[in-house]
Amino acid sequence: MKLLVLLPLLSLSLAQDAAEELSSEPPAPLATAEMTITPMNAEGGAAPPFAAVARVYPGEDPAAGAYRFAEEFFADAYVRRLPDVPSFGQLFDIVARLEQGLPGGWEAPAELARCGKRPCTAGKLWKRAEENRKAGFHDSQGADLLRALAKNGLEEEFVGKCERGLARSFEGVGRQREREAREAEEDAKNARRARGEEEAMENARQRKVEYEQAWASLVARWAEAPPPVSAELRADGSQSPVAAHMPGIVAAFAAGEHEAALSLIRKVPGNDKTSEIWIIEARAHEVLGAYPAAMQAAGNLVQKSASHEPWISGSPRMLAVALGANAAMQLGMSDKALKFYQSVLKFDPDQETARVQYRGLKKVIKALGSAEEQIQKGYNKAASGHIDDCLSALKGLDVDSPLFRSKIQLKLCTILSSMDKHEEALSNCDSAVRVRTDAGVQGPDIQEAHLKRGEARLLDDDYDGAVSDFRTAFDLVPDDESSREKKRELQVRRSLACATHIDFLTPSHR
């Protein structure tokens, strides 16, 4: 018999079969039945026919072999209700031909032919098919329906019900294939993204090495020949203290004695500080972890040295830009980090490093903002996609920090909690609270961390934990007129968590 099917489905099935044959040798079939199939070509005409083979393998029966055959070559055609597919009668013909090919003395596997201690009746097979349908095992559902239809003495109404169920099983197979195709596409997309992220991270690691090498080169150069100091007098005729302190500042900095260098720098008034002093001050504060002071000193240098001359990578002012942007990110101030790169591009739009970092950081901030918009709308899956984009973009940047990542973690906590992924959600919230606590963060930022974790704990039915976080957030709000509304809101949340906890503990909820 010759049958028309869709070529794309057929090609996919044959390709899958070929891949399986290459990866592992299938067992020898117990019986086979051949059918000639004429597929459609891309123009809708008939392509050359080929022989398709139905098989029964050990552990199967003819119904399982026939359904797999129809699933491989005709499932999509059944879903689209195309006319050129096997009728149910033709499926039974395949079952019969497979039965004829079985070796003498063959018996159907007990798990397929028996329902409990007795042979399966048509009704039992229907019931088992329904259980398989609910579990998403559409191939087992279809095979059971073929077994049921093979029984004698069936009422017409039952036959119709089984045939409709058989058609639905093919629809389920079609949906499963579409889902698998989407998952495969998503996996391929993630693999491409992972390769891109790894490349970006490697570039960032290389730039970090170059950054430290530039500092080492600068220190070595100044240790060998300290930067010259102008001997010009101030406007009032007095002598600037720079000349007196510069040798000591450079010597302490070159020796890695950053506290000593800063001590000497404090003796130089701000108006007298040179670019060299500003860059030493910024670097010393960065090494000591004093990021606000490091950002301030770097900003002063960038402002002092601004000009339309090329901003050369590795130069003191470009080191100040990288240092200032990183210090800003360490403080969670992404807008300040952007301004450092903007300061460069304002005077040198072609500065490659600044342009790449500016665009990347802007993409991170935009993705984070888009995630928040989707969270507010309740579109958690879309928000999760924006967070993925944010994390991917962040991996290729020179700037990063635990505090900035804590913003991302809190959004992930909200998203995952709303998707009932409580363990992952609380892991992100716990990390954000820990990072902000360890960093000594004060005010609204630490309140936000406890508030988000409290909401996540409440959704996870951890009422004690939720009450504790809401109480901590409440206690962190200042006792002043401007904060009264905030305190009232937190009091309501805490009371709600307490009330829910008490209600949960009543006998009717135990």
| CA–CA separation, 490 and 470 (whole Å) | 6
pLDDT (average), residues 192-196: 72
Verify that 383 and 446 share a domain, yes or no: no
Verify that 247 and 282 share a domain, yes or no: yes
* SS3 sequence of 60-90: CCHHHHHHHHHHHHHHHHHHCCCCCCCCHHH
Domain with 442 in it: 425-510
Q: Tell me what pLDDT residue 17 has.
A: 47
| Res 75 pLDDT > 90 | no
| CA–CA separation, 319 and 381 (whole Å) | 40
Pairing of β 31-37 and β 2-3: parallel
Other Cβ atoms less than 10 A from the Cβ of 342: the count is 12
- Give percent above pLDDT 90 in the chain: 38
Verify that 453 and 381 share a domain, yes or no: no
Last residue of a domain, one of 336, 367, 400: 400
Residue closest to 495 by CA, chosen among 507, 484, 505, 487: 487
Look at residue 108 and tell me if it is in a domain: no
- CB under 8 Å to 267, separation ≥6 — which residues? 241, 245
Last residue of a domain, one of 400, 416, 439: 400
Question: What is the CA angle 201-207-208, rounded to 5?
Answer: 90
Alpha helices in 24-155 (DSSP H): 62-79, 88-101, 110-113, 122-135, 138-149
- CB under 8 Å to 82, separation ≥6 — which residues? 4, 5, 6
Verify that 329 and 256 share a domain, yes or no: yes
For tokens 């229907």, name the residue: 126
Residue closest to 73 by CA, chosen among 130, 1, 134, 162: 1
CA 182 to chain centre: 16
Look at residue 460 and tell me if it is in a domain: yes
Look at residue 433 and tell me if it is in a domain: yes
| CA–CA separation, 49 and 4 (whole Å) | 9
Query: For the chain, what is the largest distance between any 2 Cα atoms, rounded to a whole number of angstroms?
Result: 119
Verify that 254 and 391 share a domain, yes or no: yes
Look at residue 379 and tell me if it is in a domain: yes
* Residue 121 banded pLDDT, cuts 50, 70, 90: very high
The first and second tokens of residue 305, run together, are 């040295």
Q: How far is CA 348 from CA 3, 56, 301, 312, 313, in A?
A: 69, 72, 16, 10, 12
Which tens digits make up the pLDDT trace of 122-170?
Answer: 999 999 999 999 998 998 999 999 999 989 999 999 999 998 998 888 8
| Res 444 pLDDT > 80 | yes
| Res 239 pLDDT > 70 | no
Verify that 309 and 356 share a domain, yes or no: yes
Q: At CB < 8 A and 24+ separation, what contacts does 505-508 make?
A: none
Q: Tell me what pLDDT residue 101 has.
A: 92
Verify that 282 and 341 share a domain, yes or no: yes
Look at residue 321 and tell me if it is in a domain: yes
Q: How far is CA 34 from CA 2, 26, 64, 66, 368, in A?
A: 11, 18, 16, 11, 58
Phi, psi of 52 (to 5 degrees): -105, 140
Higher pLDDT, 37 or 450: 450
CA 114, 116, 122, 125 dihedral sign is: negative
Verify that 449 and 393 share a domain, yes or no: no
Return the minimum-mean-pLDDT range out of 197-201, 235-239, 311-315: 235-239
Last residue of a domain, one of 385, 400, 415: 400
Which tens digits make up the pLDDT trace of 255-299?
Answer: 999 999 999 999 998 888 988 999 999 999 999 989 999 999 999
Count of CA atoms in the C-beta half-sphere (13 A) of 473: 27
The structural domain count of the chain equals 2
* SS3 sequence of 464-488: HHHHHHHHHHHHCCCCCHHHHHHHH
- Classify residue 113 as exposed, middle or buried by CB count within 10 Å of its CB (0-12, 13-18, 19+): middle
| Res 506 pLDDT > 60 | no
Verify that 348 and 432 share a domain, yes or no: no
| CA–CA separation, 135 and 506 (whole Å) | 35
Q: Tell me what pLDDT residue 227 has.
A: 82
Q: Are 365 and 341 in contact (CB under 8 A)?
A: no
Q: Tell me what pLDDT residue 480 has.
A: 66
pLDDT (average), residues 443-453: 89
CATH number at residue 323: 1.25.40.10
Verify that 380 and 429 share a domain, yes or no: no
Q: Tell me what pLDDT residue 100 has.
A: 93
* Residue 183 banded pLDDT, cuts 50, 70, 90: confident
Q: What is the mean pLDDT of the chain?
A: 82
Which tens digits make up the pLDDT trace of 386-411?
Answer: 988 888 788 778 777 778 888 888 99
Q: Tell me what pLDDT residue 457 has.
A: 92
Verify that 310 and 273 share a domain, yes or no: yes
Q: Tell me what pLDDT residue 41 has.
A: 57
Note the pTM of the prediction, 2 decimals: 0.58
Look at residue 330 and tell me if it is in a domain: yes
Q: Tell me what pLDDT residue 394 has.
A: 80
* SS3 sequence of 324-354: HHHHHHHCCCHHHHHHHHHHHHHHCCCCHHH
Look at residue 393 and tell me if it is in a domain: yes
Question: For the chain, how big is the Rg over CA atoms in Å?
Answer: 36
Which tens digits make up the pLDDT trace of 460-484?
Answer: 989 889 888 988 888 888 776 666 6
3-state secondary structure of 119: strand
- DSSP annotation string for 367-410: HHHHHHHHHHHT-HHHHHHHHHHHHHHHHT-S---HHHHHHHHH
Verify that 345 and 391 share a domain, yes or no: yes
Look at residue 499 and tell me if it is in a domain: yes
Q: Tell me what pLDDT residue 503 has.
A: 46
What residues does 32 pair with on adjacent strands? Answer: 55
Residue closest to 206 by CA, chosen among 329, 330, 356: 356
Residue closest to 180 by CA, chosen among 340, 54, 9: 9
| CA–CA separation, 398 and 211 (whole Å) | 10
